[in-house]
């Protein structure tokens, strides 16, 4: 039951790739390169990214490693902490993007930035809700607990849809000159490399 849940949760690291600009090469900025103001904006967004990604990746790893037939209390404790870390990680990501403001000199940049912040914030809230749900499961009754995990897996389908929306919003934000600007930032590069590393690697 919990393996299904972990499978539904996997793939969150692609959010980093979307924001890091490493999901595509080049941009629409020509030979001049991105505006220095845009590069400064990218630095604001990218600098805190490795720490945020470490928390998010660690949470996904923990969920994937939970023994599905283990003691309910252990599963509950691990899942609860992982959901909390995911909520915190995506909230921090939204905060960094919000604090950075709109990317300067980008057509529709403000709307794209606000959309990404809104979706990251909603994703954080969704994980906070999952934490509440897993905390409320009955660990004294194995059947009830398994049933509760099943309900949690169903809820994850809605969260998966939120993933899609969040990824799309980040990809829209990182097109063109924004892409060029973020690829110059070590924070985004490091986070992207970490996100693409095998989950078994203990970096």
Mean local confidence (pLDDT), 5-31: 44
Decide if 148 is inside a domain. yes
Using alpha carbons, list the distances in angstroms from residue 63 to 7, 43, 56, 109, 200. 9, 31, 11, 35, 13
Which pLDDT belongs to residue 146? 87
Question: 100: which 2 tokens?
Answer: 């950075």
| CA 93 to mean position of chain CA atoms | 8
Give residues with Cβ within 8 angstroms of 9, minimum separation 6: 60, 63, 64, 156
Whether the pLDDT of residue 47 is over 80: the answer is: yes
Decide if 115 is inside a domain. yes
Decide if 24 is inside a domain. no
Which pLDDT belongs to residue 170? 87
Residue-wise pLDDT tens digits, 135-167: 999 999 988 998 998 888 888 788 878 878 888
Whether the pLDDT of residue 25 is over 70: the answer is: no
Which pLDDT belongs to residue 180? 85
Whether the pLDDT of residue 19 is over 70: the answer is: no
Task: Name which residue leads in pLDDT, 67 or 25.
Answer: 67
Decide if 16 is inside a domain. no
pTM summary value = 0.81
Mean local confidence (pLDDT), 42-46: 91
Which pLDDT belongs to residue 108? 93
Give the chain's domain count.
Answer: 1
Which pLDDT belongs to residue 122? 96
Which pLDDT belongs to residue 123? 94
Decide if 14 is inside a domain. no
Query: What mean pLDDT, rounded, does the chain reach?
Result: 80
- From 129, 131, 49, select the one nearest 95 (Cα to Cα): 49
Decide if 140 is inside a domain. yes
Give residues with Cβ within 8 angstroms of 126, minimum separation 6: 158, 159, 162
Whether the pLDDT of residue 105 is over 70: the answer is: yes
Decide if 114 is inside a domain. yes
- Domain span at residue 151? 2-8+36-196
Q: How confident is the model at residue 201 (pLDDT cuts 50, 70, 90)?
A: very low
Decide if 18 is inside a domain. no
Which pLDDT belongs to residue 7? 46
Task: Name which residue leads in pLDDT, 183 or 32.
Answer: 183
Specify whether the CB–CB gap between 40 and 181 falls below 8 A: no
């Amino acid at each position: 039951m919990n393996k299904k849940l972990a499978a539904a949760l996997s793939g969150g690291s692609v959010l980093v790739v979307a924001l890091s600009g490493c999901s595509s090469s080049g941009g629409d900025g020509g030979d001049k390169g991105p505006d220095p103001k845009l590069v400064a904006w990218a630095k604001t967004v990218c600098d805190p990214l490795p720490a945020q990604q470490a928390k998010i990746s660690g949470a996904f790893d923990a969920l994937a490693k939970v023994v599905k037939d283990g003691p309910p209390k252990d599963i509950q404790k691990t899942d609860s902490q992982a959901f909390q870390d995911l909520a915190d990680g995506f909230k921090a990501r939204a905060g960094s993007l919000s604090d950075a403001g709109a990317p300067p000199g980008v057509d529709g940049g403000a709307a794209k930035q606000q959309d990404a912040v809104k979706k990251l914030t909603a994703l954080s809230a969704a994980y906070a809700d999952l934490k509440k749900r897993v905390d409320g499961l009955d660990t004294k009754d194995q059947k009830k607990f398994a049933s509760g995990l099943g309900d949690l897996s169903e809820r994850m389908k809605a969260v998966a849809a939120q993933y899609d929306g969040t990824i799309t919003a980040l990809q829209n934000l990182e097109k063109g000159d924004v892409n060029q600007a973020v690829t110059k930032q070590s924070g985004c590069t490091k986070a992207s490399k970490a996100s693409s590393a095998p989950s078994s690697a203990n970096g």
